[in-house]
Structure 1
Amino acid sequence: MKLKDLSKIEFWVATGLYGFAILLLISNSGERTPNHTESLMKGANLHYSYISNYLFPELFRFSILYFSFLLLNFCILPALFKPKDRAMAIIMLICLFLVTGLVTSVVYTYSKEYMFSDFSTLNEAYNYFFLRGFSYSTWLILIIGIYAALKKLIIYFNDNDSLQYEPNNRMKLEAVFGGAFWFVGLLLLIAGHGNFAVMLCWTLVTCSTVCIIIFSIYYLIPQVKREGKTFRHYFWKICLIAILSSVPLVLLALLYNNRAEMAVAVIAFHVPTQLIVSTSLSWFIYKKRSATHAELTSLKTELGRSDASLSFLRSQINPHFLFNALNTLYGTALQEKAERTGEGIQKLGDMMRFMLQENLQDKISLTRDIDYLNNYIALQKLRTSPSSSIVIETQIDEQLNNLVIAPMLLIPFVENAFKHGISLQEPSHIKITLQTKESTLYFDVQNSIHLKGDNDPEKLQSGIGLQNVKRRLTLLYPNQHELLIRESATTFFIHLTLQLQRNS
């Protein structure tokens, strides 16, 4: 997932939760049902106002949480990693800390007015409330900061494919995902004034779930598969692990809260979570990953065979002799004033040189790939130029931005257009546009469609090239491309958006 897309999701999720909380407060305001604060206020012989003692304090508290998250996650914390913006980010962080602490402290004086009678002096009460307010501000900034750090770590692993696919690093990445999930839940509990016992139970159950899922994916399920056992055998092993792991969790819970209710709550949440969530989720992830691994292995095998065939072909052909022969034919065509023939031979030579040399590289200059594309289009124009009913339009921008691309990634779309879009008997058209903006490539191909005859050997072979290029895009540019294909009765259209890298 792109960072921009993740930021949009974060913003709308946070905004949705904030809006839901505000809506809930407003909808409950008409009912005026007694709450805990009201009972405490009346117990202290104080006048209770739903608006000033509950509604407004809660609105301010949710607003402070929402806007603090937006400022920290999208403005302040990202700026801390940029040296030129670091000083301003620190100033904004200090201001946010002071404003959040001050507003929260004032909110406490209204929502917890019943506590004033517990202190001997007014100053002592205000000191207590302001200490709690600034403590809340500190914890809020710390938790959101940890969330942002976890997110940055996830993005780092996700953007480095070589790190992402190593088993140890992938295990670390999944542990980070689990940690992020735990922090989000903890943040929601803090925002809702959750009880400490609930936070403790959430922490113990979530952490044990993450550990059991990772253990199942990398050790337990592979062992079950090697033994030839089924899901039922794996399920009973998870049952045993869930029961045994309850013992240390209960002991940890009792260290912080020496009550039998806490132990019962941990067991009540822990065991069902492992049997329902951990078992099904880890099995699903393992099966999905095994299927992907099998597909990659199959593709690598096919690519290995193709490389071996190409290497054999190259060993049979002497490129030096081939290019000399083409140059000789080119010179002869110019002597005989066959300019179109000479132009065609020259472009064919350039294409064969590309096929035998640069096509073997993982990444090549976008300029060279476009040269091959232009040579192919020029040869096709030579072939179709006698027919006035064939219109071929190209708008391919010159590339000076030092971008690199996997070779032969664009040509299948153009080949498909000439294969199915040209008829020497009927009006035909092809339009090809290619342009780049910064590191993004935009590629469009539109062509007419002509049905093949029943005796045409290529009638049943349509779409094979496009299927292959779709697989290559998925493997080479995961989450970095968008391919749209539209087809009507008379027109075929593709639009490819591709995120490229610059040549280092």
Structure 2
Amino acid sequence: MKLKDFRKVEFWLATLLFIIFSYNLVSDTNQRNDGGIHEQFNTVGISYSYFFNFFVPKFLYILAVYLSFLALNFILIPALIDRKREALNYSLIVLLIAVVSLVLGIAKTYSHTYELLAYKTIQQGYNRLFFDAFNKTALMVILISVYTCGKYFIAYLLKNMDGNTAVQRQMKMDLAFGIGFWFVGLFLWITSRSNFQFAILWTMVVLSAVGIVIYSLYYLLPELYRQQKKFSSYFWHIFVISLVLMLPLCILALFFFNRTSEVIFIVALFHLPTQLLVSIPLSWFLYRKRVLQNSELTSLRTELGKSDANLNFLKSQINPHFLFNALNTLYGTALQEKAERTGEGIQRLGDMMRFMLHENTQDKISLIREVEYLNNYIALQTLRTSQSADIKIETLIEEQFENYQITPMLLIPFVENAFKHGISLQKPSYIKISLQVRGNVLFFDVSNSINLKNDNDPEKLKSGVGFDNVRKRLLLLYKDRHELIIRENAQEFFVHLTLHID
């Protein structure tokens, strides 16, 4: 949900709440339910009017809160955040506080007239009522401003969360669920005609819990998880945060509840157990569940990537089935004609094809078999170049290995590329191949001269079999267990692969 769409939801939600409060107020006119205020007037002997001493002041208070929210949340604070007409908007906020304080002060002189008799002079009573109205207005403006700034801050975080749309979408869903839970509870409190102070307490505690859960899921727990911290560390973090939140919550409660020490106890009674028994376990459970789900998804993606890489690799090779009969025929013909070199080449090619058919599809094969395939390929290519004195092929490939396992067809693309682009029958050229194993680390080096293809050569723009494929397979199958270095200049192409094998 975009910020513009969320603002529409806010407007209609605020309007709905205003209508609900107003409806409850109007529906109480038949029963004259004023919460016992008329008794206060009767006690001090002042005439009481339900309409002027309760209904109108209460409605003015609801209207003032509604209009203040609209003005601050949709006009003044957004303009200040965007740094538009700052002097004018600050002046309008001051004017808003003055007007709302005056309206609430006048309303309170009607709803709390009986309190005037408790002061030595009427003027002192008026001063106290208007001062209380000013405090309440200032607090309301601060709360709405904090809410609006928090909303824009969350929108900023979502917008700049490293482009991770999945995390942004999940955070939006969590916020929407939390706000929806708060609103449903608030609606039930209001429709059940409970004391207004319970709705305030519900709002403070639930919104604090929503904030703690969001902070835990997206900031605190990921950091503690990276540090491999246990649940106890997380618990004490949130415990301290909950204690710190007690101070502003108690200050807010003092403006809505009777100003006694009982307020601190009431807030603590609802706030601390909620955060410790609900927010902490809920956040921990959700985060652990999501980590497990992400791990499973990562594993599935890896397996899918492996399958895709292997499939792409196999597609890039020649399917040997249809070649075997032809190769056997050619091999027999070469022997009959006493073409030994040709027969040897056909035999090696047949061995390579069998390897590709029977072992290339396995996840791991013996390193010995991989080296045999590599030697067959080199020997086959050497048959073509052995008659040229200007072509030098040097190999240093160990033959004795322990029972090491390796993913098939990882090494051959580099050798194939060397023969494809490094050998010229018209110019001096060379290839050097080295393969050694020390401990469980394989060192593989291939260097070759560079011979540019003719413009009409169809192989000029082709890059050999599977360089990109090999890189992808290494990242998937040997992540953090390999090092691939490729260097090229005008005369030489060089590949160095270090691989930790099993």
- TM-score bracket for this pair, using the shorter chain length: 0.3 to 0.5
User: What TM-score do the two structures reach when normalised by structure 2?
Assistant: 0.46
User: What TM-score do the two structures reach when normalised by structure 1?
Assistant: 0.46
